Amino acid sequence: MKTKRLLILSDGKPGHVNQSIACAKYLGYEYDLKMVSFKQTGRKALSYLLDRIGVYSDNLFTADLQPGEYGAVVSTGSGTYYANRTLAKQLNCRSVAVMLPKSYRLDFDLIIAQQHDNPPPLANIVSVPINLSYIEPQGLVTPHAADRYIALIIGGDSRHAQMDGALLKQQITKILTLFPEHKVWMTTSPRTPESVERMLRQFSFSRAVYYSQEPINPIPDYLQYCEYIFLTADSTSMVSEAVSFGRSYVEILLAPQSLPEKSKLNRLIRILAAKNCLHLFDGTCAACRNKISLADIFNRQIIEKFESERV
């Protein structure tokens, strides 16, 4: 590679940007992070057509770039893939797509695609079982050596399903009866509905983080210290983090069967359940804590492919 530095393109969505940053960290590369966006409504649809015929123009998008030398352009999300290909050609470097770039040609130099997206078996595609994440505990919670801990990680409404607050209350009540001697940590997310927050305040947790009032992310610390993690089924990113770090047993709350059968979240949960990485909470808990090491996957399948002369 010409340089150990990457250009990461951001669409402003944390779930996408964090995957690209994780890719850079597992590769061991420094990076510059730059926003990109299509200039007008309709330009994205046009980009599909231009990509199909091999035409790449920076007139379709805005990008605040400074001159620099990069080993590759890396991006996640459909709002970035056309800019990725265009800028990689201009910079004479690799193009790396995280997640399967549907509706675009799949001849990026490297594609890191999640198994639940059913990627085709192409030489330039590496299939991984979960979303990319790079977990770094921040010391936001401090456990006491004599205590044992469980954690509740509460997401919110998504395009997959609306959160069932009544069912969640029942499940939390049951969990507390199963772990009467444990300290209970809880966090909500930016997507947690106000009605669910009000319900959660009826419980007395050892440590409660309500994101609407305290916008921090204690999840890496929870994964590091807790015996069990109870996680709502509404985010592929949250599920992926839980099964890739720490030693916690992972339990999925709410009802994954209510998700669309063909949704990627449903497929991800079922893939991970089959690998004994998580258990669907049914009033009982299982000993499911197999972890997926993304570092091992990069070391075995991705780094050499990325650094080879051509993918």
pLDDT, tens digit only, all 311 positions of the chain? 568 999 999 999 999 999 999 999 999 999 999 999 999 889 999 999 999 999 999 999 999 888 789 999 999 999 999 999 999 999 999 999 999 999 999 999 999 999 999 999 999 999 999 999 999 999 999 999 999 999 999 999 877 678 889 999 999 999 999 999 999 999 999 999 999 999 999 999 999 999 999 999 999 999 999 999 999 988 899 999 999 999 999 999 976 556 666 688 888 999 999 999 999 999 999 999 999 999 999 999 999 999 875 44
Q: What is the pTM of this model?
A: 0.91
Residues 173 and 247 in one domain: yes
Residues 98 and 203 in one domain: no
CA 230 to chain CA centroid, Å, is 17
| pLDDT for the residue numbered 246 | 95
Asked whether 82 and 59 are in contact (CB, 8 A), the reply is no
Residues 159 and 90 in one domain: no
Give dist(CA 275, CA 288) in Å, integer: 9
Asked whether 227 and 142 are in contact (CB, 8 A), the reply is no
Supply 260's token pair.
């669309």
Which of 241, 265, 275, 243 has the alpha carbon at shortest distance from 116? 265
Q: How wide is the angle at C-alpha 112 spanned by C-alphas 106 and 115, nearest 5°?
A: 100
Asked whether 206 and 185 are in contact (CB, 8 A), the reply is yes
Which of 76, 65, 91, 78 has the alpha carbon at shortest distance from 38? 78
| pLDDT for the residue numbered 310 | 47
| pLDDT for the residue numbered 239 | 95
Which of 225, 207, 224 has the alpha carbon at shortest distance from 216? 207
- Establish if 290 belongs to a structural domain: no
Q: Would you call 57 exposed, middle or buried from its count of C-beta atoms within 10 A (0-12, 13-18, 19+)?
A: exposed
Query: What CATH number is attached to the domain comprising 53?
Result: 3.40.50
Residues 174 and 117 in one domain: no
- Establish if 140 belongs to a structural domain: no
CB neighbour list of residue 296: distance below 8 Å, 6 or more residues apart: none
Residues 276 and 303 in one domain: no
| pLDDT for the residue numbered 199 | 97
- Establish if 53 belongs to a structural domain: yes
- Establish if 138 belongs to a structural domain: no
- Establish if 289 belongs to a structural domain: no
Give dist(CA 77, CA 179) in Å, integer: 40
Asked whether 113 and 128 are in contact (CB, 8 A), the reply is yes
Residues 115 and 224 in one domain: no
Query: Per the structure, how many domains does the chain have?
Result: 2
Task: Assign 7 to helix, strand or coil.
Answer: strand
- Establish if 124 belongs to a structural domain: yes
How far, in Å, are 27, 84, 125 from residue 12 at the CA level?
22, 15, 25
Residue 63 β-bridge partners: 36
- Establish if 118 belongs to a structural domain: yes
Burial state string for 7-16 with b = 16 or more CB within 10 A and e = fewer than 16? bbbbbeeebb
Range of the domain at 261: 149-280
Which of 171, 164, 172, 230 has the alpha carbon at shortest distance from 203? 172
Residues 155 and 273 in one domain: yes
According to DSSP, residue 273 is labeled H
Residues 186 and 98 in one domain: no
Residues 107 and 157 in one domain: no
Task: Assign 9 to helix, strand or coil.
Answer: strand
Residues 75 and 187 in one domain: no
DSSP-assigned letters across all residues of 121-160: --TTEEEESS----------S---TT--EEEEE-----SS
Asked whether 181 and 175 are in contact (CB, 8 A), the reply is no
| pLDDT for the residue numbered 80 | 98
Residues 17 and 107 in one domain: yes
Residues 302 and 275 in one domain: no
Asked whether 259 and 266 are in contact (CB, 8 A), the reply is yes
- Establish if 139 belongs to a structural domain: no
